[in-house]
Amino acid sequence: MRKFLTPKGMIGVVMVSLIALIGILAPLLLDPAMATKMHMTARLQAPSAAHWLGTDQLGRDLLTRVLMGARTSLEIAVAAVLISVVLGLPLGMISGYAGGRVDNVLMRLVDTLLAFPALLLALTISAVLGPNIQNTTIAIGVAFTPYLARIIRGEALRVAQMPYVEAARAAGTTNAAMLVRHILPNILPVVIVQATISLAFAILAEAGLSFLGLGTQPPNASWGLMIQASRDYLEKAPWTGLVPGAAVALTVLGLNMFGDVLRDVLDPRAK
């Protein structure tokens, strides 16, 4: 616990909690319609008392949009990481625990998938399924699965060689019971650390996909979409791009700091 009390740990925890709170509370406290309501007379206004962070090219309040965007980004990122854990955990665990031919075949498949850049894989899947929030989530989740499976497999392999696993096997524990009772609890710390770091990447991936128009679709508020829309107005109204850019940066920064400290606390391999 002491490691959470370092400046980096504290900042990470505070940032992640704040962003999570915003994601949960924003749609309850703010009127969601505000995020999509256009005011053609109030286009590209600089930050003021009426609009704290200014307005975008359609006169929409940027503060509302960026807060609502937090919900979109977090929802997609959390669900995508969950998908990759649900797919990657059994894949990696069975591969590492079974070893031999099973491991060879599964890891050959995973290595092949790793040859496709994650963003390319996510973009292709999203294009194939048709871009919307649900398919973007699936695309990112599937694209991240091989990375997670690889790491979990290594960890399962390490744990499978522990004396207590051998002892359990000698005591007649079945394979299924072994995986659930002995392997899973012992690789869980690494899974949690990796999932946290994946969240940061998922936020970046969602922003990238939406930026290219193959992710979240307008009029939904998404940070990537907001950055995309700001491209033509950056000179006149730099805040339209800087606000969502800063939102992505702060969220990913918080998650990375949190993930780093979490690794120090949980990961047995970290010194």
Partner 1 sequence: MTYVLNRLLSLILTLFLISLITFAVTNILPGDVAMMIMGTQSNPAALAGLRESLGLNDPLLVQYWHWISGMLTGDWGTSLIFKKPIAELLGQKMMASALIVVMSMAFALAAAVPLGVWAAVHRDKWQDTASSTTSLLGVSLPDFFWGIVLILVFARWLGWLPSSGYKDPSEDFLGALRHALLPAFALGLGLMAHLTRMTRSTMTGILGQEFIRVARAKGLSEATVVWRYGLANAVGPVITVAGLQIGYLFGSIIVMESLFNFTGMGWLTYQALLNRDVPLIQATIFVIAAVVMIVNLIVDLLYLVIDPRIRLG
Residues found near partner 1 in the complex (CB under 8 A): 108-109, 111-120, 123-125, 127-128, 130, 200, 204, 207-208, 211-214, 224, 227, 230-231, 234-235, 238, 241, 245, 248-250, 252-253, 256-257
The count of other CB atoms within 10 Å of the CB of residue 150 is: 20
Residue 31 or 111 with smaller CB distance to partner 1:
111
Residue 57 or 173 with smaller CB distance to partner 1:
57
- 56 by DSSP, 3-state: which? coil
CB of 174 to partner 1, least distance (A): 32
Residues with Cβ within 8 Å of residue 108, at least 6 apart in sequence: none
Residue 25 or 129 with smaller CB distance to partner 1:
129
Dihedral, CA atoms, 228, 232, 237, 240, nearest 10 degrees? Answer: -10
CB of 144 to partner 1, least distance (A): 12
CB of 142 to partner 1, least distance (A): 10
How many Å apart are CA 91 and CA 86, to the nearest integer?
9
- 61 by DSSP, 3-state: which? strand
How many Å apart are CA 67 and CA 48, to the nearest integer?
17
CB of 212 to partner 1, least distance (A): 6
Residue 157 or 227 with smaller CB distance to partner 1:
227
CB of 117 to partner 1, least distance (A): 3
CA angle 253, 255, 261 (to 5 degrees): 105
CB of 248 to partner 1, least distance (A): 6
Residue 35 or 248 with smaller CB distance to partner 1:
248
Residue 100 or 172 with smaller CB distance to partner 1:
100
CB of 187 to partner 1, least distance (A): 22
Residue 130 or 219 with smaller CB distance to partner 1:
130
**8 Å CB contact between 124 and 167:** no
Per DSSP, helices labelled H in 58-174 are 62-98, 100-114, 118-129, 133-160, 163-170
How many Å apart are CA 224 and CA 219, to the nearest integer?
12
